[in-house]
Amino acid sequence: MAIRRIYETPDPVLRQISKPVETFDADLRTLVEDMFETMYDAPGIGLAAVQVGEPIRLLVIDLQEPEEEGGEPARDPKVFINPEVLWHSESDVPYTEGCLSVPEQYAEVMRPDRIRARWRDVEGNQYEEEIDGLLAVCLQHEMDHLNGVLFIDHLSRLKRDMVLKKLAKWRKENNLKAA
Ligand code: GNR
Ligand code: NI
């Protein structure tokens, strides 16, 4: 297993349209393992393959909060391959989102609160389910990544520019180069 580099905005790889996964092989399983290790290390609750520089339609999610007091965190790893939204509710709800590719920045995004999704797991088995709550928020955020979309793209120009300005300031204060 290996921790991979997470690409950050404005790296052009994040704007690529990810390609469907066609082969469910050992290389895919290794990438999934690396993505979980990278996500837990970050830490984050979701990660799309394109964020580690692999523009394929694969994402991982684990909503479990890291456990306090140093104990082993409870884990609930979920893999979504070639995910599709079959239906979404008409009603949008706000959620304050962040993104490992837009580090340390948070802003409220509106999304449908309920979706019906279809996807495959790492073995190629197909699933179809209705999803709501934080999982729906996170899955839609990750599926945006597969289409080259970041959460800041959902903001007004003014708010997006404010977030990008704060990101530049944060990088400067932490002596980080822009990606
Ligand atoms: O770790 C993450 N937290 C988060 C919080 C609210 C909405 C979406 C997310 S996903 C993000 C990790 C990430 O960047 N995934 O692409
Ligand atoms: Ni993200």
Rounding to the nearest 10 degrees, give the CA dihedral for residues 153, 156, 158, 161. Answer: -10
Domain range for 41: 12-173
| Structural domain includes residue 115 | yes
Q: Is 133 helix (H, G, I), strand (E, B) or coil?
A: helix
State which residues have CB under 5 angstroms from ligand 2, the bound ion.
Answer: 99
Rounding to the nearest 10 degrees, give the CA dihedral for residues 88, 94, 99, 105. Answer: 160
| pTM (predicted TM-score) | 0.96
Amino acid at 117: A
Domain total in the chain: 1
The CATH number of residue 161's host domain is 3.90.45.10
Q: Which of 110, 98, 7, 111 is nearest to 44 (CA)?
A: 98
| Structural domain includes residue 3 | no
Catalytic annotation on 142?
yes
Per residue of the chain (179 residues), give pLDDT as tens. 899 999 999 999 999 999 999 999 999 999 999 999 999 999 999 999 999 999 999 999 999 976 667 777 799 999 999 999 999 999 999 999 999 999 999 999 999 999 999 999 999 999 999 999 999 999 999 999 999 999 999 999 999 999 999 999 999 999 877 66
- For ligand 1, the distance from its centroid to the CA atom of residue 65, given in whole angstroms, is 13
Q: What does the block give as tokens for 88?
A: 């979404």
Starting from the CA of residue 66, give the closest ligand: 1
